[in-house]
A and B are shown apart, each in its own frame.
Chain A
């Protein structure tokens, strides 16, 4: 398995609280992605990064922000969690965007009550 870890693996939080999810890689890959997976919607891209401090929005970025201050870490923040953000969040990395496979982390199950 590629060296990707996500923390926490499970989290329950209340509506309106901030939440930060962490993705850590040991592969030194340039590209990192945050997806959410929901029944009937498959995988949807939230944000991605193509280098340190270089990030861009995906298709469902509203309510989320990201930061990448080091190659190995990509943080996803929900500034004020809502119930619609209850989901499973996956981080992925790749060496060459779209030209190599993506390696996925184990996922974080987030429940917003």
Chain B
């Protein structure tokens, strides 16, 4: 079965630090990848997505992610985090053949002012 792994479950950073959250998926072939963010008390919102083309994808609020096919990875990055980035981040993948997306268990990011 397809799976998505997020290895960092809880990350604490100071403001202005750089961020990288890991995401790995378990299947080969064509894959669509997503990062969603859930701010405290809110629903999930899309940060960015990758379907094809340039493996470096830019999203909202200064976030970017790099698709590395050989490593089955889609890590999320931000050069300088802000307190307002405190949230839970979910990686998700779709490999076709099914009508559903698989989500990772999420990474909670806490940014300390």
Contacts and interface: CB of A to CB of B under 8 A. Distances in A.
Contacts of B105: 40-42
Nearest to A106: B43
Contacts, number: 54
Nearest to A4: B43
Q: For the complex, would chain A's binding face be called helix, strand, loop or mixed by DSSP majority?
A: strand
Nearest to B6: A42
Interface of B: 6, 32, 34, 36, 42-46, 49, 51, 90, 94-96, 98-101, 103-106
Closest 8 CB pairs of A and B: A98-B94, A42-B105, A97-B99, A104-B43, A101-B46, A43-B103, A42-B106, A104-B44
Interface of A: 31, 33, 35, 40-45, 48, 50, 56, 58, 90, 92, 97-99, 101-102, 104-107
